[in-house]
Structure 1
Amino acid sequence: MSARRALIVRGGWEGHRPVEATDLFVPFLEREGFAVRIEESNEVYADAQVMDETDLIVQCVTMSTISDQALKGLRSAVERGTGLAGWHGGIADSYRNSSDYLQLIGGQFATHPSKRPDERRGDETDNFLRYRVEVTDLGRTHGIMAGIDDFTLDTEQYWVLADDLNDVLATTTHPVQPYHPWHRPVASPAVWTRLWGAGRIFVATPGHSPSVLGDVNVRTIVERGMLWTSRTASE
């Protein structure tokens, strides 16, 4: 029996440490029977032969750009059944120049609210908040979230613009604060899946750094999400 094939595509903004973050999951994928290929450029998506042989794409590319040919290859591969999975800005804040990519993923990073002005130090921790990830009713019936209750993180809390084609497995709520301009709490999807043609998509918004990915809940969700998304996953 031939191994399943996983393609890790990483790069973009270095602040999300794409090499270290994706390296965390290579041993897991190999234990699960995947032959893992790693690419530092998304141009691999334009290679139809590679895409046809790939069961799972794990993308960790924050911002950056994507060519028309690569995007067409990615969308076509997912539509034909290749799974696409990722976390945080590596999938939900990729390729801001492309509305077609946004439609494929179903959610786009808008902001991560900051701490109170008097608590800010001028570094990335200005945007680290203590917040809850809350499992939805749908999430409680889904294998990705099995046995996971609501949990708390201290990291960036993503505000995501999304559509209702997503199956939302967990949410997070941005509270009203006197130093922010919104006037009522705003709920954002924190974990979702999406069906696209014959393919499956998985997104988790926690994952700013390897330490966040090391949280037992986050890591379990991401690992299960990758397996669920793979072309050869069982129902």
Structure 2
Amino acid sequence: MTARKALVVRGGWDGHRPVEATDMFLPFLRENGFDVQVEDSNEIYADESVMEQVDLIVQSVTMSSISAEALKGLRRAVERGTGMAGWHGGIADSYRNSSDYLQLIGGQFATHPSKHPDSCAGDESDNFLCYTVDLTDLGREHEIMAGLEDFTLRTEQYWVLTDDLNDVLATTTHPVQPYHPWHRPIVSPTVWTRQWGAGRIFVATPGHSLVVLRDINVRTIIERGMLWASRTVSE
């Protein structure tokens, strides 16, 4: 049997350390039988001869943009059975100006609420909150989350705009605070899967830094999510 092929696409805003972050997972992919190709441009998606051989896309591209040809190639590949996986802004905040990409992924970063203004230092730590990742009933039965329990993180707590096509495996709750304008707690998905045509999509919103990606819960979820999303048998 030929090895499955993983395409790792990375770039965009450097604050999420796309090179170092994806490098953390390359050994895992290779150990699990993937031939790994790494690209620094999403234009690879437009190359149908490459994409028809790909079993799993791992994307880490925050913000940035995508051409019509590349987006068409990405959607076509997933619809035909190529899996797609990613974490944090590298998948949930990739191409803000592309509604077709947002529809494909099923969730878009909206914000990460900050600390009390009096506690803000004017750097990225202003958005580091202690919050709980709560497994859903579906999540507790899913192979990606098997054996895991609710856990806490201290990092950016993503507020995500989403839709009902997602199967949500874990959530987090944004509480009401006197210094924020919302009036009731908001539940956002933190881990979800999505079926798109013949393809599977996996998204985890934690992953702002290498420290977060080293958390045993986060790393386990991402590793299992990549395997779950991948096409099982190479065409």
Counterpart position of 1:25: 25
Cα distance in 1 for partners of 2:137, 2:232 equals 26
Cα distance in 2 for partners of 1:106, 1:78 equals 13
User: Shift in Å at residue 109 of structure 1?
Assistant: 0.1
Counterpart position of 1:69: 69
User: Shift in Å at residue 2 of structure 1?
Assistant: 1.1
User: Shift in Å at residue 197 of structure 1?
Assistant: 0.3
- Structure 1 segment 207-222 matched on structure 2, within 5 A: 207-222=207-222
Query: Secondary structure at 1:10's aligned position in 2?
Result: strand
Counterpart position of 1:189: 189
- For structure 1, the residue ranges without an aligned partner over 5 or more in a row are none
Q: Does 1:13 align with 2:27?
A: no
Deviations 1:125-149 (A, max 9, x none): 0000000000000001100000010
Cα distance in 1 for partners of 2:49, 2:218 equals 33
TM-score (structure 1 length as normaliser): 0.99
Counterpart position of 2:60: 60
- For structure 2, the residue ranges without an aligned partner over 5 or more in a row are none
User: Shift in Å at residue 101 of structure 1?
Assistant: 0.2
Cα distance in 1 for partners of 2:132, 2:50 equals 39
Counterpart position of 1:146: 146
Cα distance in 2 for partners of 1:216, 1:118 equals 32
Q: Does 1:155 align with 2:155?
A: yes
Counterpart position of 1:100: 100
Cα distance in 1 for partners of 2:120, 2:138 equals 37
User: Shift in Å at residue 232 of structure 1?
Assistant: 1.0
Query: Secondary structure at 2:137's aligned position in 1?
Result: coil
Given residue 82 of structure 1, which amino acid in structure 2 is its aligned partner? T
Cα distance in 1 for partners of 2:207, 2:31 equals 22
Cα distance in 1 for partners of 2:227, 2:176 equals 37
Cα distance in 2 for partners of 1:2, 1:105 equals 29
Query: Secondary structure at 2:144's aligned position in 1?
Result: helix
Given residue 33 of structure 1, which amino acid in structure 2 is its aligned partner? G
Cα distance in 1 for partners of 2:177, 2:129 equals 13
Counterpart position of 1:130: 130
Cα distance in 2 for partners of 1:117, 1:96 equals 27
Cα distance in 2 for partners of 1:117, 1:37 equals 44
Query: Secondary structure at 2:45's aligned position in 1?
Result: helix
Cα distance in 2 for partners of 1:36, 1:93 equals 24
Cα distance in 1 for partners of 2:84, 2:209 equals 20
Counterpart position of 2:176: 176
Counterpart position of 1:44: 44
Cα distance in 2 for partners of 1:211, 1:2 equals 35
Question: Displaced runs of 4+ in structure 1, greater than 4 A?
Answer: none
Q: Aligned Cα RMSD in Å?
A: 0.6
Identity percentage of aligned residues: 78
Deviations 1:48-75 (A, max 9, x none): 0111000000000000000000000000
Query: Secondary structure at 1:144's aligned position in 2?
Result: coil
